[in-house]
Amino acid sequence: MDPVSTDSIPASLEVSGLAFAYPDGHQALFGVDFAVGRGERVALLGPNGAGKTTLVLHLNGILSGGTGTVTVAGLPVGRKHMAEIRQKVGIVFQDPDDQLFMPTVREDVAFGPAAAGLKGAALQERVRTALEQVGMADFADRPPHHLSFGQRRRVAVATVLAMEPEILVLDEPSSNLDPASRRELADILRALDVTVLMVTHDLPYALELCPRSLILSDGVIAADGPTGDVLSDDALMRAHRLELPFGFDPKSVTTSGR
C-alpha cells in the first residue's frame, strides 16, 4: 500500500529513520518514516509490542538517544528546542487520572499554561476556551474526582488544549467509555482545529475519526493509507494481528473527511 502523500500540506510532524533500543538491548524501533500534515487526523494502529508507545514518547523528547530524526512544526526534537516541543506536542494518556491532580477542574486546566508563564486574564481566557472546546465549562469549579470517567477524559483533553498544541496525541481515547461518552468525544475531536495522532486498538473509532491510518508493526511502518482501505485489506490485517469486531464491515461505513 503506497504511503499517503502529504506534499501539498505543511507538515506538523516528520519522522525519519527513527530507530531506538532500550538499555537492556531490546530494539523497539527499526527505522520509522512518516509525515503528518497540519490538520490531519491520523490513526496509529498495530498489535501490542509493535513499538507504538516508544514512538509516541519520542514525539516530545521523553525518549531519545536512538538514531533518526523527529521534527515538529519545523523544529527538531532535541534539547535545544525542548520547551517549545513540549508545548507543541500534547499527549492525552489513556487514564485521565494520570493528568488530573489539582483540587478543581479549573486549576488542572490552568496548571500547564501557568507553569509556562501565562497569568491573569489571559490565563483565565485560555482555561475558559479549553473547557468550552470539550463541553466542560460548567464544571470548572468541580473536583475532578467527582466527575464521570468520560468527563474526566474530556478535562484531560482540555489540559492539553490549554497549551495550544500543534499536535494532539491521544492514547486509546475511546477505552472504558460508554457509547454516549464515546460519541461525545468523537464530536469534540472532529471540531478541533489541531493535528491529531490517535493511538488506538478501536478500529471502528479509527475509521470514524481518522481518514488516514498507519500500521506500526515490529518497529516499522508496515502500511500507510486511507483508513477504509487499510481495514478492508484482510491479508494485511491478518499479517499484523489486527481484527475488526465481529460483523463490522468497514466498506459499509461513511466517514467524515479531514
Query: Which residue segment(s) compose the domain that 186 sits in?
Result: 11-94+167-243
Q: Is 246 exposed, middle or buried (0-12, 13-18, 19+ CB in 10 A)?
A: exposed
Summarised one tens digit per residue, pLDDT across range 149-158 is 999 999 999 9
Query: pLDDT value at position 251?
Result: 83
Which of 22 and 254 is assigned the larger pLDDT?
A: 22
Write out the chain in H/E/C secondary structure. Answer: CCCCCCCCCCEEEEEEEEEEECCCCCEEEEEEEEEEECCCEEEEECCCCCCHHHHHHHHCCCCCCCEEEEEECCEECCHHHHHHHHHHEEEECCCHHHCCCCCCHHHHHHHHHHHCCCCHHHHHHHHHHHHHHCCCHHHCCCCHHHCCHHHHHHHHHHHHHCCCCCEEEEECCCCCCCHHHHHHHHHHHHHCCCEEEEECCCHHHHHHHCCEEEEEECCEEEEEEEHHHHHHCHHHHHHCCCCCCCCCCHHHCCCCCC
Q: Residue 228 pLDDT more than 60?
A: yes
For residue 18, being part of any structural domain is answered with yes
For residue 114, being part of any structural domain is answered with no
Provide the pLDDT confidence category of residue 247 given band limits of 50, 70 and 90.
confident
Q: Residue 5 pLDDT more than 70?
A: no
For residue 102, being part of any structural domain is answered with no
- CATH number, residue 75: 3.40.50.300
For residue 224, being part of any structural domain is answered with yes
For residue 157, being part of any structural domain is answered with no
Q: Which three cell numbers stand for residue 143?
A: 473536583
Q: Residue 185 pLDDT more than 90?
A: yes
For residue 46, being part of any structural domain is answered with yes
Contacts of 112 (CB under 8 A, 6+ apart): 159, 160, 162, 163
Taking residues 17-27, report their average pLDDT.
96
Query: pLDDT value at position 142?
Result: 98
For residue 151, being part of any structural domain is answered with no
Q: What are the φ/ψ torsions at residue 238 (nearest 5 degrees)? A: -65, -40
Query: pLDDT value at position 252?
Result: 77
Query: pLDDT value at position 10?
Result: 74
CA–CA separation, 172 and 239 (whole Å) = 22
For residue 110, being part of any structural domain is answered with no
Q: Residue 194 pLDDT more than 90?
A: yes
Provide the pLDDT confidence category of residue 8 given band limits of 50, 70 and 90.
low
Summarised one tens digit per residue, pLDDT across range 84-117 is 999 999 999 999 999 999 999 999 999 999 999 9
How many domains is the chain built from?
A: 1
Q: Residue 254 pLDDT more than 80?
A: no
- What's the mean pLDDT when you consider all of the chain? 94
Provide the pLDDT confidence category of residue 253 given band limits of 50, 70 and 90.
confident
